Amino acid sequence: MYDWDDTPELNITPLVDIMLVLLAILMITTPAMVYQEKIVLPDGSKSSIVKKLPELEIRITKDRKVYIQKDMFLLKEFADNFTLIKKRFSPNSIVYIKADENLKYRDVMQVLKSVKEAGFTKVSLETNG
């Protein structure tokens, strides 16, 4: 006859096996899923024209001469002369400094410092790369 005081034992091994298989499937398929939201961008203003900022090119040769357009300055006199001619250029101009690779670092930094002190903020050193 059946004894009501016995506690039944629950075998959870098959349940654990099924859960591990489902977990493995989830772990394999989740990285392959790509969620992509549909985004509708607003139309931009077609009437505004973006103005290109003026550019200023400063070239420094290996014999320590600095050229700005058609003007030529010696490197030691550049700082003083640049403060005099900076009025010809907009302070929002993009300044490109092209220096010969044989120059000393100090010489290039002297020109960079002079340009920054004159109020130009968009200054770049240009390379061949």
Can you list the domains of the chain with their CATH numbers?
Answer: 55-126 (3.30.420.270)
E strands, the chain, are 55-60, 65-68, 71-74, 94-99, 122-126
State the pLDDT at residue 35. Answer: 67
Rounded Cα–Cα distance for residues 94 and 121 (Å):
8
pLDDT per position in the chain (129 positions), as tens? 566 777 777 888 889 999 999 999 988 888 777 766 676 666 766 666 667 767 889 999 888 899 988 888 998 998 888 888 888 888 888 889 998 888 888 998 999 999 999 888 899 888 775
List, in order, residues 6 or more apart from 18 with CB less than 8 Å away. Answer: none
State the pLDDT at residue 83. Answer: 87
State the pLDDT at residue 37. Answer: 63
State the pLDDT at residue 47. Answer: 64
Rounded Cα–Cα distance for residues 59 and 111 (Å):
10
Instruction: Report how far apart the first and last C-alpha atoms of the chain are (Å, whole number).
Output: 92
State the pLDDT at residue 29. Answer: 84
State the pLDDT at residue 110. Answer: 92
> How far from 31 is each of 26, 27, 28, CA to CA, in Å?
9, 7, 7
